[in-house]
Amino acid sequence: MNTREYFTQCFKAEVPKFVRVLKAVPEAEAGYRPHPRSMSAADIAWLLAGELKDACDILDKGEVNFIQRPTPALSDSVKAYEKNAAALKRRLPKIRDAAWKKKARFLVDGKVAWEAPLGEMLWGFLFDGIHHRGQLSTYLRPMGAKVPSIYGPSGDDPGH
C-alpha cells in the first residue's frame, strides 16, 4: 500500500468519527467558546466542512483561494461536512501517483500561503481537521453534551 492508498483508507475511517463529534454538539450551544480568543463550536464545525470543500477544489483545480464565509447554523455545517466528505471520497480513487506528487497551492486573498505536493496538502488538511475535532470534543462536556467514542471509549460512550 502506498501513501495515497493509505490516505484514502485513513480518511474513510476518520469521517464517521468527525460526524459523531459534530452531531454531539447541541445546537443551542453552537456559540460556545471557552475563551474569547477561541473559535466557537459552530465556527469549528464550519471550518471542518470548509476544509473538505477546499480539498475537493484542490483536487479539481490544483489550487484553492480560501475565502472566509459567514458561519451558518450548526446543522447546516454538519450537512455540509457530510456532503463534502462524500464528494472527497468519490474523488480519492481517481487520484493517480503523478497527481499525488504534483504541486498544489492554497491561496489566501489571491496570494500563495502554502504550496506543497497534493498528497502532503491532503494529509495536512486531515491532520488539521483531527486537531480541530479534538478541540471541539473538549467543548462538549462544558456545553452539557456527551463526548462520543473517537479512537475508543470515552467517559460518556463505551464505543460499541
Cell of 63: 489550487
pTM of the model: 0.96
Residue 154 belongs to a domain: no
Say whether pLDDT at 160 is over 90. no
Please give the pLDDT value at position 30. 98
Confidence of residue 119 (pLDDT cuts 50, 70, 90): very high
Residue 75 belongs to a domain: yes
The H-or-E segment that residue 39 falls in is none
Phi-psi label, residue 67: left if phi above 0, alpha if psi -120 to 50, beta otherwise: beta
Say whether pLDDT at 100 is over 90. yes
Cell of 19: 460526524
Please give the pLDDT value at position 159. 83
Residue 149 belongs to a domain: no
Confidence of residue 130 (pLDDT cuts 50, 70, 90): very high
Give the range of the structural domain holding residue 133, as residue numbers without chain letter.
3-143
Say whether pLDDT at 120 is over 90. yes
Residue 157 belongs to a domain: no
Say whether pLDDT at 107 is over 90. yes
Rounded to 5°, the CA angle 73-43-64 comes to: 105
Residue 123 belongs to a domain: yes
Distance CA 157, CA 160 (A): 8
Residue 160 belongs to a domain: no
Residue 86 belongs to a domain: yes
Cell of 110: 489571491
Distance CA 115, CA 65 (A): 12
Residue 152 belongs to a domain: no
Confidence of residue 47 (pLDDT cuts 50, 70, 90): very high
Distance CA 67, CA 53 (A): 11
Please give the pLDDT value at position 96. 94
Cell of 32: 460556545
| Domain count for the chain | 1
Mean of the pLDDT values across residues 59-70? 94
What's 122's domain CATH number? Answer: 1.20.120.450
pLDDT tens for each residue of 23-33:
999 999 999 99
pLDDT tens for each residue of 5-21:
999 999 999 999 999 99
